[in-house]
Structure 1
């Protein structure tokens, strides 16, 4: 981590606010924790819930849905925090800007998914938009790591490659979800959630390190 910290110190500018960066990065990581905890606890409040065949959407549409809704809102808050941190600690280039805007859009999409309580479950009241929101998640969780890979590489070469690997995994695995039998789509959806959270955790780590490096440099 020493070499990465040295690079972060080179990126640090006089306008950086280290505690703001570290706070927002921490909120980003906690958003992933909120999503994990809600998906782990939620099934215990839904009768006959099956982790393999039932999806996260089933949790958010059934009994105890508030637990999953809060998890989604927490994740959305984490996404927004990462977007704000990435904007404050800009790593340079148009790609980074595209990526942080993509993450902000993802925050909005997740918020709407949690608020709409319409999960493509046969409820036809009003306009059914859940599937379009899911398409949006698929697109922007691919765009974000691809666009931000170059900027992440300024933190460390490994971070750049990690973005590409996560983007590749997402590109290959996310379309498959729509063709899976309902007997296993719940488990598969959770694996996709892991990929998305790994990217947000990666960004949170990079931005926290930048904040820490900025703090060390200004405190000398």
Structure 2
């Protein structure tokens, strides 16, 4: 006997969005931001002779205490990939949303590689220096994620679209400036860029958390 409409509806319900999964991934995203911020703060005090205004986060990720910032970077990487999973689970757009999902995955992998590579463009002649290329790629994927996810996020609420577009514009304008700054202030500027990236992550985390909350209420 062919399946009835009731059976089809039941099957659709079984594969519907899972609030528990969305909530867990949202909390992972928040944890990733907190872990990275706290790891940088701890390293600022622990690493000797470190100037948080002049020295970059990358400087904290090399040397004896590199594991402190690496933990934060790996956590932030997991947060980004977790958001990509959530965005794939709740597909809110067309091709641009799919591009945003891929951008989040690539963003997360780049952050992971920056932490794992332990090469920070310090003129080390051993091996192939790829840190600069990773940073350039990270800058591009951050911008792509903001703009690609904006239209679909408006289906949840127009404010998410506004936040993502505004974040993308701020990023596109401010990120390239970093490469032209004098080395005595680029550390604090880089931390400001990190805060901008947190806006993307936390906005998406809030979107999926609210969606999970609404699904549970329904």
TM-score, length basis structure 2: 0.92
Match of 2:8 in 1: none
Match of 1:21 in 2: 22
Match of 1:39 in 2: 40
- Structure 1: state its 5+ residue gaps: 1-12
Aligned residues: 205
Residues 1:132 and 2:133 aligned together:
yes
Cα displacement (A) at 1:177: 0.4
CA contact (8 A) 1:46 1:62 kept: no
- Structure 2: state its 5+ residue gaps: 1-11
Cα displacement (A) at 1:63: 3.0
Cα displacement (A) at 1:43: 1.3
Larger relative CO (CA 8 A, sep 6+): 1 or 2?
1
Alpha-carbon separation, structure 2, partners of 1:63 and 1:183: 23
Match of 1:193 in 2: 194
**1:92-103 residue pairs with structure 2 within 5 A?**
92-103=93-104
Residues 1:114 and 2:130 aligned together:
no
Match of 2:211 in 1: 210
Query: Tell me, what secondary structure is at the counterpart of 1:144?
Result: helix
**What is the CA deviation profile of residues 60-101 of structure 1, one whole-angstrom value per residue up to 9, with x for unaligned ones?**
013311000001001001111111011101112111111111
Query: Tell me, what secondary structure is at the counterpart of 1:20?
Result: helix
Match of 1:76 in 2: 77
Alpha-carbon separation, structure 2, partners of 1:69 and 1:129: 17
CA contact (8 A) 1:42 1:59 kept: yes
**What is the CA deviation profile of residues 131-167 of structure 1, one whole-angstrom value per residue up to 9, with x for unaligned ones?**
0000011100000010000011111111111111000
Higher-Rg member (1/2) = 2
| Runs of 4 or more consecutive aligned structure 1 residues displaced over 4 Å after TM superposition | none
Cα displacement (A) at 1:44: 1.4
Cα displacement (A) at 1:52: 0.6
CA contact (8 A) 1:89 1:210 kept: no
TM-score, length basis structure 1: 0.91
**What is the CA deviation profile of residues 169-200 of structure 1, one whole-angstrom value per residue up to 9, with x for unaligned ones?**
00000000000000000000000000001110
**What is the CA deviation profile of residues 35-76 of structure 1, one whole-angstrom value per residue up to 9, with x for unaligned ones?**
100111111111111111000000001331100000100100
